Chains A and B, each alone.
Chain A
Amino acid sequence: NAGVTQTPKFQVLKTGQSMTLQCAQDMNHNSMYWYRQDPGMGLRLIYYSASEGTTDKGEVPNGYNVSRLNKREFSLRLESAAPSQTSVYFCASRKPRTGVQETQYFGPGTRLLVL
């Protein structure tokens, strides 16, 4: 199992450019998440998807859109990048809560610099 994979690993954009961050998981999880992490801060939820075909906003959704293409894939799109979107982006999927277990599995992250 590859777990959660993300592409690209690194990206440099100019202000106003668009791009899509890709995420895929092979663990057959229903729930998937996009977070951003800024220096000295925890992870903040951008968007999440509880199941294929459903998405909803998290804490910081402005400037982003998402697509849950199928059960495996959840993409994050920046339509017009801004320097404030410079961050590390993590995708995660969630193992269904059974009993007293609750686990999210994270991808390796995408480091994005917007100039």
Chain B
Amino acid sequence: GQSLEQPSEVTAVEGAIVQINCTYQTSGFYGLSWYQQHDGGAPTFLSYNALDGLEETGRFSSFLSRSDSYGYLLLQELQMKDSASYFCASGMFSGGYNKLIFGAGTRLAVHP
């Protein structure tokens, strides 16, 4: 079957760095995405890795290792507004179509 695993909760202090890991088992895999969701809000796109290596977008970076079926999201210089849930999602190609399979999410709490 298709599955992704990520930690359920992470806590950090303002200004720190935090890494959220994600392992996946997905047939037809073509890439790993990360989405942020604040309480009561909609998921918003953060980052995408199609190739092995690091992608950097401002304070956020994402990494993918296809051989290890593993990726992570790195958040630097944490701010209070980064308190949210973060979802990894594997892109899979199935039946001629592209779909995303989401992990259960990691709830990040940033403290002063």
Contacts and interface: CB of A to CB of B under 8 A. Distances in A.
Interface of A: 31, 33, 35, 40-45, 48, 50, 56, 58-59, 90, 94, 97, 100-109
B31 A102 contact: yes
12 contacts: A33-B100, A41-B105, A42-B89, A42-B105, A43-B100, A44-B102, A45-B99, A100-B48, A102-B31, A102-B33, A106-B44, A108-B42
A106 to B, nearest CB: 4
B102 A104 contact: no
Given A106-B42, A106-B44, A50 B97 contact: yes
B75 interface: no
B15 interface: no
A109 B31 CA distance: 25
B contact residues, range: 20 to 34
Which of A33, A43, A106, A109 has the most B CB atoms < 10 Å from its CB?
A43
A26 B48 CA distance: 23
Contacts of B51: 100
A4 B8 CA distance: 28
A109 B43 CA distance: 10
Interface in B59-112: 87, 89, 91, 95-105
Given A100-B50, A106-B44, A42 B87 contact: yes
A58 B98 CA distance: 11
A1 B49 CA distance: 27
A23 to B, nearest CB: 12
A42 B102 contact: yes
A36 to B, nearest CB: 11
A45 B89 CA distance: 12
A45 B100 contact: yes
Given A42-B105, A100-B31, 9 more contacts: A33-B100, A40-B8, A40-B104, A42-B102, A45-B100, A97-B98, A102-B91, A104-B33, A106-B44
